[in-house]
Structure 1
Amino acid sequence: MSGATLGLLAAAAVLAVGTLALRLAGVLLRARLTPSERVQEILDTGVTVLFCALVATAALVEAQEFAGWARPIGVAVGGVLAWRRAPFVLVVVAAAAAAALLRLLGLP
């Protein structure tokens, strides 16, 4: 394995252990510790930012290159439908159909 691969695996392992530790601490300390409203707000914002970063990365990048326009447009279609509170199955099918149609039309 290359150094970059080992570094990536080590980072994933550290994040996994940290996530597990935080989840376990939440269960163990729930009755003893009540975070302030500001801390809760920061945690909620952090979750939103991480989720947006994950979606953006998955939608825009493939093999360290731009994934093409079909995928982000499909994700946008799904995002709009989810925002409008469409059923989950419809969101997934519409997003996939939009990306597939655009690829069929020749848009990468």
Structure 2
Amino acid sequence: MGNFGIKIVFISLTCFFSCKSSSEDVIDKKTMAIVFAELKTAEAKVSRLNLTGVDSSRVAFKYLEKQIYKKYKVDSAQYLKSFDFYAKDKKQLLSIYIEAEKIIEKNKNKNTAY
């Protein structure tokens, strides 16, 4: 897992143990899976750029992250609250991860087909 993946997991776990969330601001499961998949794809893109400094990588990822949140009309706080909400039920969280994995695989196949 890359440096950004560790950070995303750390932030998510921190939120999981410190935030209380209601279902009011929760992103639906389908959108959550899409956003997660796009964040992981962005992380992979940044890691392939071979930027010389951690700061450069961080800036590049933050830019892509903001674009993803904007695209789906969510923000980082709402994403983390939603992650917290779904993490309370491991089966729901697992289903989001599985769906995100399918999305990543589908997009990978689409990008390699000519």
- TM-score, normalised via structure 2 length: 0.31
Highest CA radius of gyration, 1 or 2?
1
Greater RCO between the two (CA within 8 Å, min separation 6)?
2
